[in-house]
Amino acid sequence: MPVMADFLKQPSLSAHQRTIVLEGLSGVCHVHVANQKLAESLGIHITLQELMDSAGPLTLDTKAELWSCYLLNILCCNNIPLIRILERSESLKRSLEDLENHDWFGWPKNYARELLCIL
């Protein structure tokens, strides 16, 4: 997982490659609390916030934004301390509000809306 976390920060990564890393991290963390805690300790939630910030140095395509939002949802699951950290981020809230209006067709939920409700 540390290597995957480092990949997310690489500016040379293509949108497709970044999406694959996000999908992989989501799969590793889904319903696996130890991996969720490891991801948090690696600062993946910070990287995700930076990736989702449209003013940030790295930009994502829509698919990668959706996967970033989904992974952030996974990391917030039963993690009140992380939720408290994220709720202070105005830029994250703005990013989620923008993402909420995207087409979530094919996903079981609008995860941006879910996160906004949690935060």
Cβ atoms of 68 and 23 closer than 8 Å:
no
16-25: per-residue pLDDT in tens?
999 999 999 9
Cβ atoms of 41 and 31 closer than 8 Å:
no
41-90: per-residue pLDDT in tens?
999 999 998 888 877 777 678 888 999 999 999 999 989 999 999 999 99
Domains of the chain: total: 1
6-19: per-residue pLDDT in tens?
988 888 888 899 99
Tokens standing for residue 99: 């993402």
Q: Which value, in Å, is the radius of gyration of the alpha carbons in the chain? A: 13
Question: 3-state class of 107 per DSSP?
Answer: coil
Cβ atoms of 86 and 49 closer than 8 Å:
yes
pTM of the full structure: 0.92
Find the domain containing 7 and state its range: 2-118
Predicted confidence at residue 107, as pLDDT, reads: 94
Q: Residue 111, Cα to own-chain centre: how many angstroms?
A: 10
Residue 102, Ramachandran bin (φ over 0: left; ψ between -120 and 50: alpha; else beta): beta
